[in-house]
Structure 1
């Protein structure tokens, strides 16, 4: 009888170990799937954030370029207006600037 009880205990322990293995395999699979889902969600969130930052940067760059273009156009128009007002003075100033640059380059 005692031998039968020991065999029954051994069989129960063996069954419990098998159930434990199955539970551990299920748990491992669930954790792996959870990690994949978390990684996928994180990837999507990073992608959305990067896209938003890029769009913001692009808009700011476009605005800065527009402002610089407008400022450049205004400066060119102003210089053209000054040249039209005083053409002789402009020719003399450019001549003097050429002489100064030429002297600097001779050294």
Structure 2
């Protein structure tokens, strides 16, 4: 009788261990699925934020480029206007600037 009782206890322990393995497997799978979901949501959030940052950088770059283009256009227009007002003085100044650059490059 005691052998049968020991056999029943052994079977019960074996079934409990099997159930524990199955529960542990389910728990591991649930944790892995939860982590995959978390990783996926974090990846999506990082993508969204990086797109927003890229768009902001692009917008600021476009604004800076437009300001620089406007300033250079204005500067060219101002120089053209000055040359039209005093063409002889402009030619003389350019000649002198050329001489000065030539002297500096000779050394």
Identify the TM-score tier after normalising by the shorter chain: over 0.9
Say whether 1:102 aligns with 2:63.
no
CA–CA separation in structure 2 for the residues paired with 1:9 and 1:49: 59
C-alpha displacement at 1:34, in angstroms? Answer: 1.1
CA–CA separation in structure 2 for the residues paired with 1:27 and 1:86: 88
* Alignment TM-score, normalising by the size of structure 2: 0.96
Question: What is residue 34 of structure 1 aligned with on the other side?
Answer: 34
CA–CA separation in structure 1 for the residues paired with 2:76 and 2:95: 20
Question: What is residue 5 of structure 1 aligned with on the other side?
Answer: 5
| Poorly superposed stretches of 4+, deviation over 4 Å | none
CA–CA separation in structure 1 for the residues paired with 2:81 and 2:103: 30
Q: Alpha-carbon deviations, 1:15-73, whole Å to 9, x = none?
A: 00000000011011111111111111111111001100000011111111111111111
Structure 2: 5+ residue stretches without partners? none
Number of residue-to-residue matches in the alignment? 107
Question: What is residue 16 of structure 2 aligned with on the other side?
Answer: 16
RMSD: 0.7
CA–CA separation in structure 1 for the residues paired with 2:39 and 2:78: 58
